[in-house]
Amino acid sequence: MKKTFDSIDTDNSGFIDMDELSNLSKALGHDLTPQELDIVFEELDENKDRKISFAEFTTWWKKGRRGKGNIAKKLVGY
């Protein structure tokens, strides 16, 4: 999971921000709408600090990458 997280965290800040999540969506060929990206980001950002930590990413991953309306599944393409 850390390798996957680090590949998304392109600025090496230790967090995934909205731009990195959007870039991931596009790179995977699942160009989400701004509204869908907001929903995914909100679901992953448990403490609402506008950045996704590795711990938050891990929690989401272990939950089966699910969320409201399965938009997160659309992000990762399954």
Question: Which of residues 43 and 51 earns the better pLDDT score?
Answer: 51
Q: Are 4 and 51 within 8 A, CB to CB?
A: no
Which of the four pLDDT bands, split at 50, 70 and 90, describes residue 36? confident
Q: Considering its fold, how many domains does the chain have in total?
A: 1
pLDDT in tens, 9-19: 999 999 999 99
Where residue 24 sits, what CATH number does that domain have?
1.10.238.10
Domain residues for the domain of 19 are 2-76
The predicted pLDDT at position 6 comes to 94
Per-chain mean pLDDT for the chain: 84
Query: What span, in angstroms and rounded, lies between the C-alpha atoms of 43 and 47?
Result: 10
Question: Lowest mean pLDDT: which of 6-20, 21-35, 54-68?
Answer: 54-68
State pTM to two decimals. 0.80
